[in-house]
Amino acid sequence: MLKLDETDLKILRVMQSDGSLTVSQIAERVGLSQSPCSRRIAQLQEAGVIVARSVLLDRRKLGFKVDVVTRIKLKSHDKATLEAFKKEIRAMREVQTAVLLLGEFDFHMRLVVRDIDHYQQLLQERLSVLPGVQEIKSSVILEVVKNTSALPL
């Protein structure tokens, strides 16, 4: 693991709170001048600590009114089935998160869809015909109480 000092952690906290800040703004907030702050950010990127910067969009304002959690159990766990399933899931734009699990279900996914009709079509035409699917259980999310990708630094 990379050794990070308190200044590195401050930089990461500031960047997690607002990914749109310039290096100058980050430097000001952590108490550094711009050049050393820029060097530290570059080192954190080179070390793979900072993986990417992204923009968060409001799904509702873009017409995606329904958020769904879907759990999928596969018939088989052989390498070919898993790889084929993962390839198809990666290509589905509605899938926001997909994780392989140990336990009762093999995959846990979070999807965004325009409405229930969109989800029904996705379920019938794409999810249920994925390679190796045995069982699908879904729940509609009523309220997101917390949603963050920020690490507790």
Strands 66-74 and 107-113: antiparallel
61, 62, 66, 72 alpha-carbon torsion, rounded to 10°: -140
Q: How many beta carbons lie within 10 A of that of residue 89, not counting itself?
A: 17
> Which domains does the chain carry?
6-46 (1.10.10.10), 60-140 (3.30.70.920)
pLDDT for the residue numbered 42: 96
Mean pLDDT of successive 10-residue segments in the chain (153 residues)? 90 94 96 96 96 90 97 96 96 97 97 98 96 96 93 93
Q: Give me the residues paired with residue 112 across strands.
A: 67
10/1 Cα distance (integer angstroms) = 18
pTM of the model: 0.84
Separation of alpha carbons 43 and 124, rounded Å:
47
Write out the H or E segment, with its range, that includes residue 99: strand 95-100
CA distance 125 to 73: 17
- C-alpha to C-alpha distance for 99 and 109, rounded to whole angstroms: 6
Task: Using CB atoms within 10 Å of the CB of residue 112, give its burial: 0 to 12 exposed, 13 to 18 middle, 19+ buried.
Answer: buried
For residue 137, what pLDDT is reported?
98
Give yes or no for a contact between 105 and 71, defined as CB atoms under 8 angstroms apart: yes
